[in-house]
């Protein structure tokens, strides 16, 4: 039996009831897609994920990768290669490809709904297939010659990596030492070492294009001095794609990791054995901005991966709780002869399951809401809307990405270990069930593409301060308008309004510290001590809003529903109320913590720790 069960019913509800994606289908750039076609795609992916992709999930973890240090080549388990081939042969990678290269024109909301199921069933499949998404960057930002490279990436299903991290430059990307020297023929020779490179090699494709940040000879320090180069594993003919000689980029080690073992995380060397020949992307020196096109996609992917793993963990825990008999009913606790009951009848198990359900479904809505903003950006551009309208939407998407990635990964990892696995008791700690692998595989999501602390700093300083709070104000007004609707869950909406006010007070306090730091630099520490708290609080407010919106929709439909639909809507109403009652009050406590922050711990001596 597959470890994975997709929650397509909830995906459909989010897409078409909550977010009304049917309103954009059949129009403009999505004129060839209607709801029935979109659901047909999702149903086909569900079958693929629950069968072909999920089939190698466990063996991929147990066997991991095989590294040949002499050749620098990585081999993957045959079962995983079979799963990957099923994904590629089904042409699902083309949902990330420009239409001009043979891609499929679908809205990002449908694209990320598909990705959720792939990432939940076997995340390494999606990660190894990054070449399709990266081809988009090479095509949009590349020269005419590089656009041909992008086409080969699609037609020949080449892999791709993003190379930022170096042994002495982790999160501090601007400290990178990799060097690029221009050659007479216009190419560049790159030298240096990179670390923690995902999918650095694998025997599932004939070539890999590495997107590498390096500093051109004579360029300035920091991130502004970095440029982005395309470095193939094998040289090739730009016209035909035919492979040539080996290029000078080699894997020197594969990390032994806590989880996600079938995904090769590599140390890479550039230019030691022979020149590592690269091509300057777009023939412009704008590396960090170009790489951020990939980073933004990667952050959305990581958050979606984490959230989909939590959903898978919840499905497993729910099934177990409905079948595992243990102990008597609590109300009969004095009756030693009372019959044993399934553990879903125990109060604390119900608390745990509803917590998992509310977060999993709320964060799914967060991912798809963010994707719906991406829909709006693309449609606005296609329809020739003003640059101001497009900018507002882009800034809202930028605001939401660190929440999807930082909040989503942190909550998913915590809940998988403290709730989903815990539901199984001691059995959860064994390999008889997939939960221990989910927990190990999910931890990386809080570290990938910027740790949670980095997401919090980015959220406050770049997405709020630098934006003058415009995107946050737009979102707050939308939440405030919903609070004012009253009707169903009127009391819960009042609670949401109070939490929104507490959140605004938290932000105001942090802005006060930031402004004060211009006179007293140490005041900035008070921001740094609380930006992660801010990120978590914003996430809880948005989740509450999305869950209550779902609760309103469910309340309007439940009267005419029957059977599984009625159960589904009852669950929606229950989870929205549960989340607001149990998690929203914590924001008031966070406000109290932030407002009394004195930065005292920054003065504690290191030896006292």
State pLDDT tens for residues 197-227: 999 999 999 999 999 999 999 999 999 999 9
Residue 277 pairs with which residues in a beta bridge?
189
Q: Are strands 179-182 and 208-216 parallel, antiparallel or unpaired?
A: parallel
The residues near 418 (Cβ < 8 Å, ≥ 6 apart) are none
For residue 258, the tally of other CB atoms under 10 A from its CB is 11
Indicate which residue of 166, 449, 492, 522 is catalytic. 449
Q: CA–CA separation, 169 vs 171, rounded Å?
A: 6
Q: CA–CA separation, 33 vs 232, rounded Å?
A: 35
pTM assigned to the model: 0.96
The answer to whether 449 is a known catalytic residue is yes
**Cβ(109)–Cβ(38) under 8 Å?**
no
Domain 159-288, CATH among 1.10.10.10, 3.30.70.120, 3.30.360.10, 2.40.110.20:
2.40.110.20
- Residues of the chain scoring pLDDT < 70: 1
Confidence at residue 24, expressed as pLDDT on a 0 to 100 scale:
96
**Cβ(232)–Cβ(210) under 8 Å?**
yes
For residue 189, give Cα distances in angstroms to 178, 181, 222, 575.
Answer: 10, 5, 20, 56
For residue 564, the tally of other CB atoms under 10 A from its CB is 9
Confidence at residue 230, expressed as pLDDT on a 0 to 100 scale:
98
For residue 484, the tally of other CB atoms under 10 A from its CB is 9
| Residue that the structure tokens 């590599």 belong to | 266
Q: CA–CA separation, 503 vs 279, rounded Å?
A: 47
| Residue that the structure tokens 């149903």 belong to | 43
| Exposure string for 523-559, b = 16+ CB within 10 A, e = fewer | bbbbbbbbbbbbbbbbbbbbbbbbbbbbbbbbbebbe
- Helix or strand (DSSP H, E) at 358: helix 347-382
In the chain, CATH 2.40.110.20 covers 159-288
Q: Per the structure block, which two tokens stand in for 516?
A: 């004060």
DSSP 186: S
Residue 122: which of 73, 156, 77, 68 has the closest Cα? 77
Confidence at residue 314, expressed as pLDDT on a 0 to 100 scale:
98
Q: CA–CA separation, 98 vs 140, rounded Å?
A: 9
Confidence at residue 173, expressed as pLDDT on a 0 to 100 scale:
87
**Cβ(7)–Cβ(311) under 8 Å?**
yes
Backbone angles phi, psi at 40, to 5 degrees: -60, -40
DSSP 23: G
Residue 84: which of 96, 92, 94 has the closest Cα? 92
> In 164-236, at which residue ranges do the beta strands (DSSP E only) sit?
179-182, 188-198, 208-216, 227-232, 234-236
Check residue 241 and give left, alpha or beta (phi > 0: left; psi -120 to 50: alpha). left
Domain 8-136 matching CATH 1.10.3470: the answer reads no
Torsion angle in degrees (nearest 10) through CA of 542, 547, 553, 556: -130
Q: CA–CA separation, 9 vs 164, rounded Å?
A: 39
């Amino acid at each position: 039996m597959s470890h994975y069960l997709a929650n397509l019913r909830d995906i459909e509800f989010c897409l078409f009831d909550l977010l009304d994606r049917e309103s954009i289908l059949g129009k403009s750039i999505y004129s060839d897609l209607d709801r029935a076609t979109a659901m047909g795609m999702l149903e086909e992916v569900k079958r693929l994920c629950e069968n072909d992709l999920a089939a190698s999930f466990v063996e991929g973890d147990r066997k991991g990768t095989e590294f040949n240090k002499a050749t620098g080549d990585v081999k993957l388990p045959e079962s995983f290669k079979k799963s990957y081939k099923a994904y590629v042969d089904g042409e699902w990678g083309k949902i990330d490809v420009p239409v001009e290269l043979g891609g499929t024109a679908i809205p990002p909301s449908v694209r990320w709904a598909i990705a959720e199921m792939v990432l939940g069933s076997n995340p390494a499949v999606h990660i190894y297939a990054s070449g399709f998404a990266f081809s988009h960057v090479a095509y949009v930002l590349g020269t005419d010659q590089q656009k041909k490279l992008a086409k080969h990436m699609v037609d020949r299903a080449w892999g791709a990596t993003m190379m930022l991290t170096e042994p002495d430059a982790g999160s501090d990307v601007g400290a990178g030492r990799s060097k690029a020297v221009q050659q007479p023929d216009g190419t560049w020779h790159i030298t240096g070492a990179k670390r923690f490179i995902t999918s650095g090699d694998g025997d599932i494709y004939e070539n890999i294009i590495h997107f590498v940040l390096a500093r051109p000879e004579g360029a300035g320090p920091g991130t502004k001095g970095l440029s982005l180069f395309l470095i193939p594993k094998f040289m090739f003919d730009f016209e035909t794609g035919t492979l040539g000689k080996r290029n000078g980029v080699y894997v020197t080690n594969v990390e032994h990791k806590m989880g996600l073992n079938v995904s090769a995380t590599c140390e890479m060397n550039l230019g030691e054995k022979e020149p590592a020949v690269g091509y300057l992307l777009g023939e412009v020196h704008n590396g960090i901005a170009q790489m951020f096109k990939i980073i933004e996609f990667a952050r959305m992917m990581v958050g979606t991966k984490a959230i989909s793993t939590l959903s898978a963990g919840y499905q497993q825990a729910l099934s177990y709780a409905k079948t595992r008999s243990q102990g008597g009913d609590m109300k009969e606790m004095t009756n030693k002869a009372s019959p044993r009951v399934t553990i879903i009848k125990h109060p604390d198990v119900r608390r745990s399951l509803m917590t998992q359900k509310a977060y999993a479904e709320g964060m799914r809505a967060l991912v798809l809401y963010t994707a719906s903003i991406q829909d709006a950006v693309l449609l606005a551009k296609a329809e020739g809307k003003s640059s101001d309208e497009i900018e507002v939407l882009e800034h809202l998407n930028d605001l939401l990405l660190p929440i999807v990635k930082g909040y989503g990964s942190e909550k998913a990892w915590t809940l998988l270990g403290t709730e989903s696995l815990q539901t199984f008791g001691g059995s959860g700690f064994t390999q008889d069930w997939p939960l221990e692998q989910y927990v190990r595989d999910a931890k990386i999501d809080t570290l990938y593409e910027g740790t949670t602390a980095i997401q919090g700093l980015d959220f406050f300083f770049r997405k709020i301060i630098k934006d003058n709070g415009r995107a946050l104000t737009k979102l707050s007004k939308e939440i405030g308008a919903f609070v004012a609707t009253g009707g169903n869950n009127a009391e819960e909406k009042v609670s949401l309004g109070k939490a929104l006010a507490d959140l605004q007070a938290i932000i105001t306090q942090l802005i006060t510290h930031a402004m004060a730091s211009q006179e007293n630099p140490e005041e900035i520490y008070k921001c740094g001590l609380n930006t992660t708290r801010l990120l978590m609080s914003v996430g809880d407010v948005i989740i509450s809003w999305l869950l209550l919106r779902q609760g309103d929709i469910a309340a309007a439909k439940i009267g005419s529903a029957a059977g599984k639909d009625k159960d589904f809507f009852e669950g929606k109403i229950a989870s929205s109320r549960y989340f607001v009652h149990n998690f929203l009050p914590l924001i008031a406590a966070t406000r109290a913590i932030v407002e009394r922050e004195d930065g005292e711990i920054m003065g504690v001596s290191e030896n006292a720790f």
